[in-house]
Amino acid sequence: MIQELYNDKSGRDLADNLHYCKNIHTLNSCGADMRLIIAEKPSLARAIADALPGSTRREEGALHAGDTVVTWCLGHLLEQAPPDAYDPAYKQWRLDHLPILPERWKLAPRPKARGQLAAIRRLLKSAREVVHAGDPDREGQLLVQEVIEHLGWKGPVSRLLVSDLNRPAVARALTRLEDNSRYHALYRAAESRARADWLYGINLTRAWTLTGRQAGHDGVLSVGRVQTPVLGLVVRRDAEIRDFVPYPFHVLWVDIAVSGGQLRAWWQPAETQRLDEQGRLLERPPAEALAARLPGAEGHLASLDARQKRQAAPLPYSLSALQVDAARRFGLSAKGVLDICQRLYERHKLITYPRSDCRYLPEDHLAQARRTLESACHSDATLQQWFAGADFTLRSKAWNDKKVGAHHALSPTGKPADLGRLEKAEADVFRLIARNVLAQFYPALETREVKAEFVILDERFRASGQVLLQPGWKPLFTTRDEAPPLPPLSEGEACRVTDCAVEDRETRPPEPFTDASLIKAMMNIARYVDDPAVRRTLREHDGLGTEATRAGIIETLLERGYLVRCNKALRATRLGSGLIASLPEAASRPERTALWEQRLGAIAEQDADPAPFMTSLIADLQALLASADAARLRSAMAEARGEAGPTVSASRGRSSGKPRRSRSRAAPTRKRRTS
């Protein structure tokens, strides 16, 4: 047909147009309006196209289904333009250029994304409407919308939110399109975050790198609004471990015979003894003197406290909670868990959207839960056993629409899972995800906690135990036996000492960070803040980084040589320690960046004006730049290398959020008793 049209000039013009339409993959709809869906990544585009009615035709850069064309980004197609895009002079790094503050922000195509960006540009010319199909989070909103705006689209834009790549779920989502303008505040928050990160990272990295050159350090010193406080946590923890000075303490135990059997109790020294802040005995002679009198001594049970406790199952996972558990149970790195989740979501379609900060599930998922979990569990013996024990008449607090935001907790999609065909780590992580959802259909764990206090020779001894009344969900999480229960006890009954001993113990330093504990620290960053008012505020907001970025932050610090893995431990290198020591304390502590997240949350959720946030950031930035000092940096690097000379401590402030009680050889004493 096309060749025939070339027989005359008018035909050649039309043929040229048809060739053009074919080249941009819209031959079927050329000359007619089409709906263009822009997905965040190819896997999401394929899932959307598969859920559309009719057959799907694939050509380079797009998928066609009827009058709908689905194209995709490759993650971010655009990035903040480099400083020299604003002024060629900025290509050279100079302190007198700082701070670099763009008046009108520019975006630049990523080098490997130019072809796909051009394809989207061409497709937009034939579109009647655009559907934004970024991932349902702040970053997903940004990376598709910035492409739409950068390419100058002025027509209507709808929003498609997909958190589950299975065909039925995507088909349902396609019937629930929203006006993209509802998410403009989320976009502004993401845009503000991107610009703030650029300002902070570009200016401080240049300032400290240039100051480092003056101090004799050859290399880039990278400073970031999240990575640097995370590095600061590790540096200060390492300093606590390095500076820790242990001291001895002593405990006295007694084995006691009662009418119902025997138990072990522990001496509670009186306030007149020399104790540390945790109530530990610091001098051995009082314990030895009492131990000499105890064999065969009689006494009585002075008080008995028995309380029944009921504990609901742990909630389904957010990404960070999963990373913590998978690191502890299987030794997986945070990035390893994220990569596994992405494969389970995109390649295998076995779990819902993984980069979620939510631990609750939509209420309408409850009705399908039995069918979903049965399909997910049928090929694995462990999951089958757990599924068989589930009671689907139960409803836990996990099903709560009010607690579900842009995402819900990680859960199986219901696609039949052949765990034998997965990698071992993939199967392990999938079982954890399925287990935490299955646990919502198990009864609560019920125990009776017993605390007993005995009086013998006018001294007090305490014992505690637990009686398991209803195992509930607990067997899904551990096979370990609980502490043995106490024998039957009656308040006031007589007792007799059958054995006793004094044990010498020693205080221990804090543990070094691991992937699990560092992710947990980033989630619960308020614990590492000294200011009570700031700490209260931070408890109500997200921690350091986001679900999507925490694993990447750790990997970035490792790649840049600031951290190193020692078995499972994450330790700061000399370079990392020196950088933290050279920076103002405010730049290496979590308060600023955590409060950033709070302000960005206000922009996203309350449609707050971004301008005050940016103005405040620039003021902070100028103060930080003024503190760059070559002498301080030279001293810090020398101390990190262990060289003699003036030092700048890398351990300013506390990393653990707890008093440093064990630093001096003269252990602190106290005048009040703690249990």
Positions annotated as catalytic residues are 353
Q: What phi and psi values does residue 497 have, to the nearest 5 degrees?
A: -80, 125
Residue 278: C-alpha distances to residues 237, 316, 658 (Å): 21, 35, 12
Q: What phi and psi values does residue 251 have, to the nearest 5 degrees?
A: -125, 150
Which residue matches tokens 């970025």?
A: 549
SS3 40: coil
SS3 59: strand
Report the C-alpha gap between 232 and 593 in whole angstroms. 12
Report the C-alpha gap between 657 and 155 in whole angstroms. 52
Sequential DSSP letters for 72-125: E--S-SEEEPPGGGT-GGGGS--GGGPSP--SS--EEE-GGGHHHHHHHHHHHT
Report the C-alpha gap between 351 and 317 in whole angstroms. 11
CB 588 within 8 A of CB 231: yes
Q: Which two tokens stand for residue 266?
A: 């522990």
Torsion of CA 321, 326, 328, 330, to 10 degrees: 180
Report the C-alpha gap between 531 and 547 in whole angstroms. 25
Amino acid in the structure at residue 166: N
SS3 32: coil
**H/E/C letters for each residue in 341-362?**
HHHHHHHCCCECCCCCCCCCEC
Report the C-alpha gap between 232 and 236 in whole angstroms. 6
**H/E/C letters for each residue in 472-497?**
CCHHHCCCCCCCCCCCCCCCCCEEEE
CB 450 within 8 A of CB 486: yes
Report the C-alpha gap between 65 and 75 in whole angstroms. 23
Report the C-alpha gap between 411 and 41 in whole angstroms. 21
Q: Using omega within 30 degrees of 0 as the cis cutoff, is the peptide bond preceding 316 cis? A: no
Q: What phi and psi values does residue 311 have, to the nearest 5 degrees?
A: -125, 120
Cα angle at 460 between 456 and 465, to 5 degrees? 105
Strand-pair partners of 391 = none
Count other C-beta atoms under 10 Å from residue 611's C-beta. Answer: 9
